[in-house]
Each structure stands twice: as structure tokens, then as C-alpha cells.
């Protein structure tokens, strides 16, 4: 039986890819919850609200009759005051979980980040899902993404809710408004003349379509007895590139 999907943050870069992929494979019940509407499709029901307000998200979960919630929302990395990261990534994620539990939602997929295991000092090479969170997180983004992820994983099994988290590394692809525009800006301003280090540092990038696909697979594989429930998954394109 197919699900009723609610994509939280579905007006954003990744969230929109998730929405389009759901529509493309023929899903009939796709809704979006976001703080600002940017896309206007006939097939998608849009709920406007702020994740940090329980009633906003609870309304959307109830009215959309969601059976699968895909939570991609977060403030931009580095682009918001510290308190906002706590309000959205931790309090907001808790609101999502509480509402899913209260409304008997079956599945919750959380967009985490590979940065939850990075402390900003020690290199991470060939990490896997057993790599622990650092004792001291690098910054408030990493810390709050990790806290949100942990809350989601701990909620697995509560009132029948099945959860998992997807950890992409830096995402690239069409409609990216973060990394590519910033990189182009650096080039336009001629700020590429200096190199820090010997160019041997690697960073993992993940193509946005692969990340969106991972979210759909994660949702599809959340069923009673599934080994996916209660787990985190690192998503990668396989080959890291020089940073």
C-alpha cells in the first residue's frame, strides 16, 4: 500500500528533489510543510508553518494524514544565529517526533549530515556508521544536527513509529543555492590565488538526486521488522574529491 508523504522543508534544495522524485514515480499523496512557499504544483498540498511551533507542524501532519514523514528542514549551514539552530534542529525535530507519535505516523526519515561525526580538527577517513560522535562538536550546526539525529533514532519504536536517518555529505546539483553560488562568487572576486595546505585534503560530495533517492529508499524500507529501522546511513557518491 502506498504512503501519504509529508516532506518537511519540501520547498528547499534537497526537499524539492524529494518531492519531484515522489511525483515522478507516481505517488498520489504528496504534501509539503515549509516556512516559505516557492513552488506551486496542483498535485502537492502545501502547509505553511514554522517547525519550532508544535501546532504548526501538528496541523500539517494531521491534515495531510501523513503515513511517511521526510524531515529535510534546517537553517543553512553557517547562515543563521546559534539559537535558531537549536530551535529548528532540536526543538523543531522534537515537535516532529511528538506529533508523529501522537498521530500514529508509521515512518519518519530524518535528513542528518555527515558532519555530525566531525570535530573540525581530526581528519575522518573511511568513516562508517559506527564512528562515534565527537566529544566536542565543531560548531552549533554539527552539534544540533547530531542532537536531532539522536532524538529521531531514539524515537524508533515509540507507538509503532519507525525511524531512520540519512547522512549526506556536501550536496551538489541543479538548484543548489548554497555551495556553487558561493564558489562562483569566490572565483568572480579573484579569491582563488591562495592555497592552504598541499591540496591533498579530500571532501566527499553527494549528487542531490542520489541523496533524494536515498530518502525514498529509506522510507520504502521502513516496515515492521526491517533492519533499517533505528539506523543511520551515510550517503556518498563513492569517490571523494580534493577540497
**Catalytic positions:** 145
DSSP secondary structure, 68-81, as one string? EEEE---PPTTSS-
Residue 74 within binding range of ligand NAD, rule CB under 6 A: yes
CB of 2 or CB of 177, closer to ligand NAD:
177
Contact range with ligand NAD by CB under 6 A, out of 19-27, 66-74, 149-157, 181-189? 66-74
Q: Is 50 in the site for ligand NAD (CB under 6 A)?
A: yes
43: helix, strand or coil? coil
Residue range at the interface with ligand NAD (CB under 6 A); choices 20-28, 45-53, 126-134, 186-194? 45-53
Q: In this structure, is the dihedral angle defined by the CA atoms of residues 51, 56, 59 and 64, taken in order, positive or negative?
A: negative
Under the criterion CB under 6 A, does residue 204 sit at the interface with ligand NAD?
no
Nearest residue (CB) to ligand NAD, 193 versus 239? 239
DSSP string, 127-190: --TTSPPPSS-SSHHHHHHHHHHHHHHHTTTGGG-EEEEEEE-EEESTT--SHHHHHHHHHHTT
The CA distance from 93 to 51, in Å, is 8
Which residue in 13, 47, 85, 118 binds ligand NAD (CB under 6 A)? 13
Question: Does residue 88 interact with ligand NAD by CB under 6 A?
Answer: yes
Between residues 75 and 106, which has the closer beta carbon with respect to ligand NAD? 75
Burial zone of 143 (CB within 10 Å; 0-12 exposed, 13-18 middle, 19+ buried): buried
Q: Cβ(170)–Cβ(207) under 8 Å?
A: no
State which of residues 73, 90, 96, 232 lies at the interface with ligand NAD (CB under 6 A).
73
Contact between 4 and ligand NAD per CB under 6 A = no
- Taking a C-beta distance cutoff of 8 angstroms, is the pair 44, 31 a contact? yes
| Out of 21, 23, 27, 35, the residue judged to bind ligand NAD by CB under 6 A | 35
Q: Interface residues for ligand NAD in 151-180 (CB under 6 A)?
A: 168, 170-171, 178
Helix (H) or strand (E) holding 204: none
Q: Give the residue with the Cβ less far from ligand NAD, 9 or 134.
A: 9
Q: Which residues bind ligand NAD (CB under 6 A)?
A: 9, 11-15, 34-36, 50-52, 72-76, 88, 92, 111, 113, 145, 168, 170-171, 178
Amino acid at each position: 500500500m502506498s504512503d501519504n508523504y509529508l516532506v518537511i522543508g519540501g520547498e528547499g534544495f534537497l526537499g524539492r528533489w524529494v518531492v519531484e522524485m515522489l511525483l515522478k514515480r507516481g505517488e498520489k499523496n504528496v504534501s509539503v510543510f515549509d516556512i516559505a512557499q516557492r513552488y506551486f504544483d496542483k498535485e502537492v498540498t502545501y502547509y505553511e508553518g514554522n517547525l519550532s511551533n508544535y501546532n504548526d507542524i501538528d496541523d500539517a501532519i494531521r491534515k495531510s494524514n501523513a503515513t511517511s514523514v521526510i524531515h529535510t528542514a534546517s537553517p543553512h549551514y553557517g547562515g543563521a544565529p546559534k539559537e535558531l539552530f537549536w530551535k529548528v534542529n532540536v526543538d523543531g525535530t522534537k515537535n516532529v517526533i511528538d506529533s508523529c507519535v501522537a498521530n500514529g505516523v508509521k515512518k519518519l526519515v530524518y535528513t542528518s549530515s555527515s558532519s555530525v561525526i566531525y570535530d573540525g580538527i581530526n581528519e575522518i577517513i573511511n568513516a562508517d556508521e559506527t564512528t562515534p560522535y565527537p566529544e566536542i562538536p565543531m560548531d552549533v550546526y554539527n552539534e544540533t544536527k547530531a542532537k536531532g539525529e539522536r532524538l529521531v533514532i531514539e524515537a524508533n519504536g515509540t507507538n509503532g513509529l519507525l525511524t531512520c536517518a540519512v547522512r549526506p555529505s556536501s550536496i551538489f546539483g541543479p538548484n543548489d543555492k548554497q555551495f556553487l553560488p558561493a564558489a562562483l562568487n569566490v572565483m568572480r572576486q579573484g579569491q582563488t590565488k591562495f592555497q592552504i595546505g598541499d591540496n591533498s585534503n579530500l571532501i566527499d560530495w553527494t549528487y542531490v538526486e542520489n541523496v533524494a533517492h536515498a530518502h525514498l529508499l529509506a522510507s520504502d524500507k521502513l516496515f515492521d521488522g526491517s533492519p533499517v529501522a533505528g539506523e543511520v546511513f551515510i550517503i556518498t557518491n563513492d569517490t571523494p574529491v580534493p577540497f
